[in-house]
Structure 1
Amino acid sequence: MNTPAVKVGLISNPLSQRNKKRRGKLNDIVSSHADILYEPLEEIAALAEILKKFSAREVGLIVLDGGDGTVQAALTELLNGNAYDTPPLLCVLPSGMTNLIAGDVSGKGTPEMGFSRVIERARNESFDQWIVERHVIRVQYAPDLSPIYGMFFGMGAVTRAIEQCRRVIHPLRIEGPGAVGLTLAGLLIRRSIRGNRDDTVFRGDNITLQFNDGKAIPIHNLLVLISTLKRLALGTRPFWGEGNGGLQVTSIAYPPTRFWRSLFPLLYGKERRNLDSEIYLSQRTDHLAITMNSPFTLDGEMFQPSPDIPVRLEAAGPVRFIRW
């Protein structure tokens, strides 16, 4: 058996949605590679000690077998410097419900296929050709708490749509892009029936946005999207702002004018989009502060900020991922 060019460690979350259906399948691969360190993640609180153990054993490639929440928790531990001085190379297997991060930085196929491929690539000292880099969002939402890190931030209609998806679509055992597509279709159908009337998802929130310590902009807002990923669910590209910042930011005021005419260019338009700039705002930045009185999501996990304390977001990293 060849010795890997980099030591591999696997963290598998057995509670992630897809892992519940295929318990033990990765174990067969691990059992045939005695040089791979394997740790089941029975609870997120155990992640810190697992990463410290991997660091002590000089693991240079961590394979995360879980959903977006597992990746978010790992990024938070790693970028807060609790285990590694510099984050190691990461690989993400799509074992969760939505797998937004894996859809951008991983590959196509089953988690078993991905794990097998990455083991082979870890044995090749010239595997740099499969490495991609992404910035990470640093979120400070409470002064007495450590920052959290992730790759997709949303608020307003975004969090309400996620909650509706979990309440209505996920019980039907529909997951991934199918769940996202059905949720979006249902919301759009309801929007076409109700028009501009407020409902449980389509309504406004009063917020302020402050880019790069500039002037605070008050907005009656439908949603805010922030991401460092190049590809979102269903292949959407809801970012078109110019600049060199590591964070892609899009905000939509409420009520959105010319909603139906703007929908396709909003989601799938090119660099220049013929959208009302008073309603549809998109730009890149390295720093952003949002004052709000509503929850936000970071990679599918929900957080409640204080209405009096701005949520501060910064571009961190970049972090390296290996494709498979």
Structure 2
Amino acid sequence: MGRPRITLLSNPRSTGNVAQLPRIRAFCAEHPDVFHYEVEHAEQIGDAMKTIARVKPKLLVINGGDGTVQAALTELHNGGHFADGEVPPVAVLPSGKTNLIAMDLGVHGDPVTSLARLVALAQHDLTPHLVARQMIALSGGAKGGKPVIGMFLGGAGLADIMLYCRNRIYPLGLPNGISHVLTFFAVVLRQVIGLKAKFLPPDPRPLSISVRREGVITGRFALLAVTTLEKLLLSGELNGQRQGTLKFVAVEQRAGSLLNAFVATLRGRLGRTKMAGVHVEEADEISIEGDSSQVILDGETFSAEIGMPIFLRRASPLSFVRLAA
């Protein structure tokens, strides 16, 4: 028997895997060309990649939430486990709460069905299904250390909303859809209407953001997003952006600016015209400095401090498998 064509890296603790992992394990048992490696903690992904590199898969499938994907991408980029030219293309199953990366790659619905499609694709030439995605390298901040690799960063009010949903709404045990609706109404009450209450997300902290063309932008921002994904959180695409750059959006903490940005996104016009309080840019490097202001890169939280800014830079692209809609 030849080597496995696919390696599946699973995190059993990801939200979607609690219910789906028994089915995924059964599927792998029926398909000997799938090498299934399970990890329960991000710290185990380095050892997992060492083993996966020895297997030399044709395709690496990551079965976990955005945080699991981010940890795996960081190891692929920094770990040096694969020889030059041997880093396999990556596919992502929709197994977390948000699955922004999976959605960007056209993977949605039942993860076992998606895995079956990927196994079928791997029997043939994957080239027609491969897309390159520029990575974001995050360094600095309170944690320091080696650069962390990801594809979507949320900061300012957006990070506060994501943490609010994660820490206050998800523990209620409600379905994802209802959790996101409750979070949406909390955001409207806090950021649009201006209501202040302990059960609502907090005020965004002041930030200083340095972007190449805009120079330094300071203030309180209801939304800060940096991404290499084709689509943003609101499922809109940025217009007029050079391929491969960091796509940057910041919306100041004003109801009018939020409404204008939301309408422009729905109409597909975000970034085409200047709007007061709405900053849309492209850059190769961005720095973020604040007073213990949180940013989230693909599920992992980092803190931008005064005198310890977070730096975002373009990192080498990786190859991903995109499923047709």
TM-score range, shorter chain: 0.7 to 0.9
Question: Does the CA-based 8 Å contact 1:241-1:249 persist in structure 2?
Answer: no
Alignment of 1:74 onto 2:110:
no
Alignment of 1:98 onto 2:118:
no
Question: Does the CA-based 8 Å contact 2:91-2:320 persist in structure 1?
Answer: yes
Partner of 2:223: 223
Kindly provide the amino acid, as one letter, of the partner of residue 150 in structure 1. G
Q: Residue 17 of structure 1 is aligned with which of 8, 15, 18?
A: 15
SS in 2 for 1:134: strand
TM-score (norm 2): 0.86
Question: Does the CA-based 8 Å contact 2:186-2:201 persist in structure 1?
Answer: no
Partner of 1:322: 321
Kindly provide the amino acid, as one letter, of the partner of residue 90 in structure 1. V
1:51 is displaced (CA, Å) by: 0.5
For the residues of structure 2 that align with 1:243 and 1:154, how far apart are their CA atoms? 21
Partner of 2:127: 128
Q: 1:122 to 1:265 in 2, by over 3 A?
A: same
Number of aligned positions between the proteins? 318
Cα shift readout 1:107-141 (whole Å, capped 9, x = no counterpart):
2331100111111110112x222222211111002
For the residues of structure 2 that align with 1:179 and 1:132, how far apart are their CA atoms? 32
For the residues of structure 1 that align with 2:176 and 2:33, how far apart are their CA atoms? 32
1:229 is displaced (CA, Å) by: 0.9
1:1-324 equivalent positions in 2, closer than 5 A: 7-85=5-83, 87-125=87-125, 127-142=126-141, 144-174=144-174, 176=176, 179-194=179-194, 201=201, 203-212=203-212, 215-237=215-237, 239-240=238-239, 242-243=241-242, 246-257=245-256, 259-270=258-269, 273=272, 275-277=274-276, 279-293=277-291, 294-324=293-323
For the residues of structure 2 that align with 1:53 and 1:93, how far apart are their CA atoms? 21
Deviates more, 1:47-56 or 1:27-36: 27-36
Question: Does the CA-based 8 Å contact 1:103-1:232 persist in structure 2?
Answer: no
Percent identity over paired residues: 27
Deviates more, 1:178-187 or 1:61-70: 178-187
SS in 2 for 1:24: helix
For the residues of structure 2 that align with 1:114 and 1:148, how far apart are their CA atoms? 27
Question: Does the CA-based 8 Å contact 2:42-2:71 persist in structure 1?
Answer: yes
Question: Does the CA-based 8 Å contact 1:266-1:273 persist in structure 2?
Answer: no
For the residues of structure 2 that align with 1:281 and 1:89, how far apart are their CA atoms? 34
Deviates more, 1:214-223 or 1:16-25: 214-223
For the residues of structure 1 that align with 2:21 and 2:271, how far apart are their CA atoms? 46
For the residues of structure 2 that align with 1:319 and 1:181, how far apart are their CA atoms? 34
1:45 is displaced (CA, Å) by: 1.0
SS in 2 for 1:216: strand
For the residues of structure 2 that align with 1:223 and 1:251, how far apart are their CA atoms? 5
SS in 2 for 1:209: strand
Unaligned 5+ runs, structure 1: none
1:318 is displaced (CA, Å) by: 1.7
Unaligned 5+ runs, structure 2: none
Kindly provide the amino acid, as one letter, of the partner of residue 296 in structure 1. V
SS in 2 for 1:205: coil
When the two chains are superposed, the root-mean-square deviation of aligned CA atoms in Å is 2.8
TM-score (norm 1): 0.87
Q: 1:178 to 1:135 in 2, by over 3 A?
A: farther
Kindly provide the amino acid, as one letter, of the partner of residue 56 in structure 1. R
Q: 1:208 to 1:9 in 2, by over 3 A?
A: same
Question: Does the CA-based 8 Å contact 1:208-1:217 persist in structure 2?
Answer: yes
Question: Does the CA-based 8 Å contact 2:251-2:261 persist in structure 1?
Answer: no
1:41 is displaced (CA, Å) by: 1.0
For the residues of structure 2 that align with 1:138 and 1:298, how far apart are their CA atoms? 10
Kindly provide the amino acid, as one letter, of the partner of residue 302 in structure 1. T
Deviates more, 1:59-68 or 1:242-251: 242-251
Kindly provide the amino acid, as one letter, of the partner of residue 185 in structure 2. A
Q: 1:198 to 1:220 in 2, by over 3 A?
A: farther
Question: Does the CA-based 8 Å contact 1:14-1:40 persist in structure 2?
Answer: yes
Q: 1:61 to 1:261 in 2, by over 3 A?
A: closer
SS in 1 for 2:96: coil
For the residues of structure 2 that align with 1:232 and 1:213, how far apart are their CA atoms? 21
For the residues of structure 1 that align with 2:213 and 2:233, how far apart are their CA atoms? 31
